Amino acid sequence: MAGNGQEQIKRPDPDALLALAEKDRRGKLTIFLGAAPGVGKTYAMLQRARRLRDAGTDIIVGLVETHGRSETASLLEGLDILPRREIDYRGRILHEFDLDAALARRPAVIIVDELAHSNPEGSLHPKRYQDIDDLLDAGINVWTALNIQHVESLSDLVTQITGVTIRERVPDSVLSHADEMLLVDLPPAELIERLKEGKVYLPESANRAVDRFFRIGNLTALRELALRRTADRVDDQIVDYLKQNAIEGPWASGERLIVCVGADPLSEIVVRAAGRLASGLNAPWVAVHVERTDRERDDAAAVRQLEKVLRLAEELGGEVKRIAGNDYVEEILKFAASEHATQIVIGSGPKRGWAFWRRQSLQDALTARVSGLALHVVTSDKAPEPRKKPRKQLDLASLRMNVVIGVGAVVAASLVGEIIDRFIHLPNLSIIFLMGVLVAAIYGGLTSALLASALSTLAYNFLFIEPRYTLTVAEPYEVFALIAYLGAAVLTGSLAARSREQAKAARSRAIAMQALYDFSRKLSGTANVEEVLWAAVTQLQSGLKKNVLLLLPVEGDLKTLAAWPPDTEPGVADLTAARWAHEKREHAGRGTGTLPNSHFHFRPLMSPHGVVGVCGIELVEDTLNPTDERMLTAILDQTAVAIDRARLSQESVDQAARLEGERYRDALLSSISHDLRTPLATITGAVSSLREFGEKMQPESRDDLLQSIEQESDRLSRFVANLLDMSRIESGALKFTRDWVDVADVVRTAVERARKYFPGRGIETGLASDLPLIEADSVLLGQVLFNLLDNAVKYGGTEPINVYARRDGEAVIISVTDLGKGIPPEELERVFEKFYRRGKSDGRAPGTGLGLSIARGFVEAMGGTIRAESPALKKRGTRITMKFPLKPTGKDDA
């Protein structure tokens, strides 16, 4: 591409180079992609691994799922296999990939099968592709396998095709960052035959799979998706290579379309035609609009039409680009080269009358200069009517000012020329008048410049060309000089006026950009929809100087949620126009063909997920000026996206809360299933034994059974009490009696209760002699101490438990210390969470995980604090300390 007579230097795309440098730092990811299970992805991986091992490469098998296929399992022989780690998950032992061992081993290549696998609870990462990302960050090359149905963007489509909901999904970004993607393909008929032979699933499962998932139609559709996805990835790699090596122009390996659009109705037809063409070619496409840098578009209707066309392109799946330049053809060809486009689509309407004599059309100019690209020219069956530009009303005040500036500049130049001519004889004073023309152009614009050019020509002839003070010219060369001066004056005046218009346009754009920047900064600090709405209405009102409304759907109808000034209210006709704009997704109200009697002009707020609301602007005239039009469009687009983002954020919070609630519910149900079943089974067994063998049993045996019934009943009672206590804390319904409590008595009572429940377990107490009374509830405090002792018995090993109480300044400290294995530092706070359990340290059931959570709730309700310390003594043990202030906290009874 040539420019200004010199060849432009072609430089690699910096973003592409940075991406390449990042890839060189990381390990290489190879994905074996298949259309369905059983096509041979793992088999192909292992075959390639054996060849690499024979070549001397350090390759290990981190995890491979053979699914009972003997031919796949035979390929593992002789390969270095990383031992799996065992995880106790809900009573089952799972054998999972050991990420830590893989990172410590650091092989050159590691095979980690089943990319879409979800890791069990307690793993470092919830998904296996995140484990693989850690391996890549460590510089280890990874091979993995994936079925096409697990790709996030295709999961809904796969569900529609097969009727099977895909639960394990992998983000598309994982595939886009893969260094190599190998398609493992197998014809559907051959895959079904393998399935029937039992080479994919066991016979029972194979029959169900053939009836549901493995059908010819399903497999053919999945095969097409896999082929297309692989081709797309290869195409992306080609584009990356072109950008990294500064190669411009089209490559025929894949089609890419550039669609040229403007502010005319024909562009809508062009965009729709391009969308159909791109869909048929399965090609990406970009709608590009070239904006002139030397002038502002002075037609608000044209601005709206352009925004409509660009929005249509986005809705049809295209990208939208705006580029700036004055040479349309050069900018389009330069953009096509940078995007490696293969085809350009433009529109062409018929020329009428004198238009044939106008300058070369864009179609003809592109045809003359394009090289190596296909050019599509789109016309319509019925050519659209040319858009009529609005007539500009004559501004008499502005015209009067332009005339005054032009005349004043010429008069000033004449006076300066007369003064200079009196004292210094110059051969040519036309330069003085030329300066006057420039001054007129700078301060008055083109009209003043043209007027000054004509008047200065006459004044120069009248005052300084012989014979003076007449409009006649004595010498022929003076006529030529006068004509040359007039041409120079007109040319310089026009250039100066254009520079003034460019400066004005630049100033206008700068103001609009500053307004958008200020608005974007406001939106960046907003956290909810209400803040977004108020930021939008205040920004619009300050920029447009007009009353603004923002209406959002609430319970099936539009409601005014923000307005500026705040007392702005829509009328009945206004609400009708707003509902029309919301339902039909088009402009309504003043200045439109729908309900023009409304005082407000309404526009829908379009986000990627649809219409999120309506904005109303109170207009005095029917249209906005182009600058206001651009600002309004940009702010409304940002507002719609911000509203959508705020709602999605709130939905994410709600979803997280629901998931947390489900997690608690699952934990509760799991706990109930164990903690109810175990004591009930014990009680039922003891009762059955007593009923069947009661008279035949020895008295000692009967006493043991009765004691078991009593202990398990107490255990069941404590479990139900814990659930009730937690529900009281969560609902805020906890009530307690505030009274002066003797801490020593409460400690002794709780310890005696614990010794009764846990006979044979040593519990030591240490109570200071100067313990004061504290303001608390003795029943709740006793329950807290018992929960802490129960926890210490479960996790504290076999050594005695110590309970101490002492005074510490203006507070009383109560601590329970065990000598178990302790708590890791990162879990010291988590032990007080609901349903959090660290395991079975002493072989006993760990319980519901509510004891410490209830203890914290009770202690805080009584105005105290509770915390855990570990290690407590000699690098082991745990101490849980409660602190109660001696002075009242000032809180009301809960």
Q: Please check the confidence at residue 333 and state whether its pLDDT lies above 80.
A: yes
CB–CB of 793/758 below 8 Å? yes
The region of weakest confidence among 130-144, 680-694, 809-823 is 680-694
Q: Which residue has the tokens 């570990």?
A: 870
Question: Helix, strand, coil: what percent of the chain each, to 5?
Answer: 50, 15, 30
The region of weakest confidence among 105-119, 344-358, 559-573, 694-708 is 344-358
Helical packing angle, 626-675 and 699-731, nearest 10°: 160
Q: Report DSSP letters for 130-187, one per residue.
A: HHHHHHHHTT-EEEEEEEGGGBGGGHHHHHHHHS----S-B-HHHHHT-SEEEEE---
Q: Are residues 187 and 304 in the same domain?
A: no
Q: Are residues 287 and 430 in the same domain?
A: no
Average pLDDT, the chain: 77
Q: Are residues 226 and 164 in the same domain?
A: yes
CATH number for 764: 3.30.565.10
Q: Please check the confidence at residue 300 and state whether its pLDDT lies above 70.
A: no
CATH number for 578: 3.30.450.40
pLDDT digits (tens, 9 = 90+) for 695-726: 777 777 777 778 778 777 776 776 666 666 65
Domain count, the chain: 5
Q: Are residues 313 and 409 in the same domain?
A: no
- Give the end of a domain, one of 606, 633, 652: 652
pLDDT digits (tens, 9 = 90+) for 183-204: 888 888 888 777 777 666 655 5
Q: Please check the confidence at residue 467 and state whether its pLDDT lies above 90.
A: no
Within a domain: residue 552?
yes
pLDDT bucket at 359, cuts 50 / 70 / 90: low
Q: Are residues 188 and 283 in the same domain?
A: no
* Res 30: pLDDT: 93
Q: Are residues 312 and 199 in the same domain?
A: no
Q: Which residue has the higher pLDDT, 723 or 333?
A: 333
Q: Are residues 571 and 493 in the same domain?
A: no
Within a domain: residue 7?
no
* pTM recorded for the entire structure: 0.43
Within a domain: residue 726?
no
Nearest CA among 29, 111, 118 for reference residue 72 = 111
* Res 398: pLDDT: 72
Q: Are residues 79 and 207 in the same domain?
A: yes
Within a domain: residue 775?
yes
CATH number for 284: 3.40.50.620
Q: What percent of the chain has pLDDT over 70?
A: 77
Q: Please check the confidence at residue 488 and state whether its pLDDT lies above 60.
A: yes
pLDDT bucket at 5, cuts 50 / 70 / 90: very low
Q: Are residues 739 and 872 in the same domain?
A: yes
* Res 640: pLDDT: 85
Within a domain: residue 392?
no
Within a domain: residue 710?
no
Within a domain: residue 172?
yes
* Res 302: pLDDT: 77
Range of 183's domain? Answer: 14-244
* Res 723: pLDDT: 62
Q: Are residues 194 and 277 in the same domain?
A: no
Q: Please check the confidence at residue 262 and state whether its pLDDT lies above 50.
A: yes
- The 10 Å Cβ neighbour count of residue 797 is 16
Q: Which residue has the higher pLDDT, 541 or 397?
A: 541
pLDDT digits (tens, 9 = 90+) for 277-289: 887 777 788 899 8
Q: Are residues 88 and 207 in the same domain?
A: yes
Within a domain: residue 725?
no
- Give the end of a domain, one of 502, 517, 535: 502
Q: Please check the confidence at residue 108 and state whether its pLDDT lies above 90.
A: yes
Q: How far from each other are the two terminal CA atoms of the chain, in whole angstroms?
A: 79
Q: Please check the confidence at residue 649 and state whether its pLDDT lies above 80.
A: no
CATH number for 231: 3.40.50.300
pLDDT digits (tens, 9 = 90+) for 369-383: 887 788 888 887 655
